[in-house]
Amino acid sequence: MQTCDAITKTGAPCRAPAGPAGRCFLHSHPEKARLLGQAGGRKNRHQLPDPPSADPLTAVDLRNILADAIRDVRLKKLSPRSAGAISQLANSLHRVTPSAELEDRIARLEQQLAERGLAADPTESETNGRATNVEQDPLQETEQGGSAVTDPCQPIDMDTKNGSDDAGDGMAKGEES
pLDDT in tens, 17-36: 988 888 898 888 888 877 87
Domain boundary among 109, 125, 141: 125
Amino acid at 3: T
169 falls within a domain = no
The pLDDT of residue 54: 74
- Cα→Cα distances 9→14, 23, 153, Å: 9, 15, 101
Instruction: Give CA–CA dist 97/140, Å, rounded.
Output: 40
In this structure, the answer to whether residues 23 and 70 fall within a common structural domain is no
Determine what percent of the chain falls in helix, strand and coil, rounding each to the nearest 5. 45, 0, 55
The pLDDT of residue 107: 94
> CB–CB of 94/59 below 8 Å?
yes
The pLDDT of residue 152: 57
* pTM over cut 0.85: no
Positions of the chain with pLDDT under 70: 40-52, 118-177
In this structure, the answer to whether residues 40 and 78 fall within a common structural domain is no
In this structure, the answer to whether residues 40 and 63 fall within a common structural domain is no
In this structure, the answer to whether residues 33 and 2 fall within a common structural domain is yes
Q: Which domain covers residue 18, as residue numbers?
A: 1-45
The pLDDT of residue 167: 57
The pLDDT of residue 143: 47
Taking every pair of Cα atoms in the chain, the longest distance, rounded to a whole number of angstroms, is: 127
141 falls within a domain = no
User: Domain total for the chain?
Assistant: 2
In this structure, the answer to whether residues 39 and 72 fall within a common structural domain is no
The pLDDT of residue 36: 79
